[in-house]
């Protein structure tokens, strides 16, 4: 037998479902923006670190060898 919901509770359940879905969507967007912000911040920190430090990559040269 199907679940029978009293007619007076249908409206309140729809409202509660809408509230839960809306909160879920806002949480999704907020977490996505927070992750994007942290990613961008870490990229900038890496660039700053790279400019302040001298590594072996600063002195390497790449060239192609051909057979002659």
Mean pLDDT for 22-31 is: 98
Whole-number percent of the chain with pLDDT over 90: 56
The token pair that represents 43 in the structure block? 């990229």
pLDDT score for 17: 95
| Range from 11-15, 36-40, 51-55 that averages highest in pLDDT | 36-40
For residue 62, is pLDDT > 90? no
Q: d(Cα 50, Cα 28) in Å, to the nearest integer? A: 33
**Cβ atoms 19, 27 nearer than 8 A:** no
pLDDT score for 1: 64
The token pair that represents 4 in the structure block? 């029978």
pLDDT score for 23: 98
CA angle 37, 39, 41 (to 5 degrees): 70
């Amino acid at each position: 037998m199907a679940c029978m919901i009293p007619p007076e509770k249908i409206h309140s359940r729809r409202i509660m479902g809408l509230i839960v879905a809306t909160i879920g969507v806002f949480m999704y967007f907020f977490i996505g923006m927070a992750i994007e912000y942290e990613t961008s911040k870490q990229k900038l920190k890496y660039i700053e670190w790279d400019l302040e430090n001298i590594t072996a990559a600063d002195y390497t040269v790449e060239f192609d060898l051909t057979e002659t």
